Amino acid sequence: MAIQRRALVLNQNYEPLNVCSVRRAFVLVYRGKAEVLEQGDEPIAGADDTHFPTPSVIRLSHFVRRPHPRPRLTRREVFARDGERCQYCGQRGGQLTIDHVLPKHRGGKHEWENLVTACRSCNHRKGGRTPEEARMDLLSEPRRPSTHPSVMYAPYLTRYGEWRPFLLGWSRDQDLGELGLAAGA
Ligand SMILES: [Zn+2]
């Protein structure tokens, strides 16, 4: 049913802001607060056999200021970033733990770049050592996960292909320019 569908909400400067229900998108458009850029393939049936196009991508008529989304640093998010995989031996699933690459007692910080997913036995084996000291290589270098819309909303793309150009086309430079914070300013 069309009402179960989701719509992509773009800021007035075309920055992807969030995902909402089609019902909410419809209300925003109806009240003149947004315009429809792309329609979904199933129209919404109204009274008297009328059909309304389903908004799939809408653009707000006013610019909304909001801070950039920051990924939350939680165990679950670290596991998700690492694909639920021990970053030392590659084992997937099981009892996963968080390992501080540079151990805490040696000044290792609790931040994306110093936290990796480790299985219990690798974590135990590594102990209070660095990967070099323990001769345990990391599968990949830990990084802060991307908050680019094309990454954050990637799971929606299989169902809503029409969102693709709006998600992939967005660039942060464009964003910074809009806010008067262009690089170097
Ligand atoms: Zn392991």
CATH class name, domain 75-134? mainly alpha
CA 64 to chain centre: 19
pTM of the model: 0.65
Cα radius of gyration (the chain): 22
| CA–centroid distance, residue 130 to ligand 1 (Å) | 15
What is the mean predicted confidence (pLDDT) over 43-67? 85
pLDDT of 177 higher than 60: no
| CA–centroid distance, residue 80 to ligand 1 (Å) | 16
- Across the chain, what does the average pLDDT equal? 88
pLDDT of 58 higher than 70: yes
Of 184 and 149, the structure prediction assigns the larger pLDDT to 149
| CA–centroid distance, residue 84 to ligand 1 (Å) | 11
Of 4 and 17, the structure prediction assigns the larger pLDDT to 17
pLDDT of 184 higher than 50: no
| CA–centroid distance, residue 72 to ligand 1 (Å) | 24
> Would you list the domain boundaries of the chain?
2-68+148-178, 75-134
Query: Which residues touch 87 (CB under 8 Å, ≥6 apart)?
Result: 99, 116, 117, 118, 138, 139, 140, 142
| CA–centroid distance, residue 94 to ligand 1 (Å) | 10
